Amino acid sequence: MKLRDVARLVEAEFVTGADQADREVTRAFAADLLSDVLAMVQDEGVLLITGMTTPQVVRVAEVMSMGAVLFVRGKLPATATIEYAIGTGIPLLATRRIMFDTCGILYQAGLKAAQRKSMPLDHAPDLSRP
């Protein structure tokens, strides 16, 4: 899905990277814990949906080769975050929508969840059996 379509669907504005509106994001991942992003996402080109606005968000997006960052809940990143994103070439978008609505809208429009790495519960015994 192109970033311009993401922006249109969730009524987001480009904070940086408007010139990259035709960039494709392959999948999406939503989290406010950056450790979850690092531990779980295995794809490249992913749209990170978050309420975190610190420069560390862009650093994680850079390390993980993500396609863009979409801030939710009307949050806008600090100047340091914007400057860092410009330096890395990672587009930043912002929407007033909450994370749940944002994810639902994008999923309904065909954007799939990021492939995730194996997690501890994937190998846990079935605890529902007596």
Per-run averaged pLDDT (10 residues), the chain, 130 residues: 98 98 95 90 93 96 96 96 97 98 97 75 62
CB neighbour list of residue 76: distance below 8 Å, 6 or more residues apart: 15, 53, 94
Name the one residue in this structure whose structure tokens are 């340091």: 80
Write down the pLDDT at residue 56. 96
Write down the pLDDT at residue 129. 62
Write down the pLDDT at residue 36. 87
Instruction: Residue 122: name the closest of 53, 60, 39 by CA.
Output: 39
pTM of the model: 0.89
Count Cα atoms within 13 angstroms, Cβ side, for 103: 13
Write down the pLDDT at residue 127. 63
Q: Is the CA virtual torsion 36, 94, 87, 80 positive or negative?
A: negative
Fold for the domain defined by 3-114: 3.40.1390
Write down the pLDDT at residue 69. 98
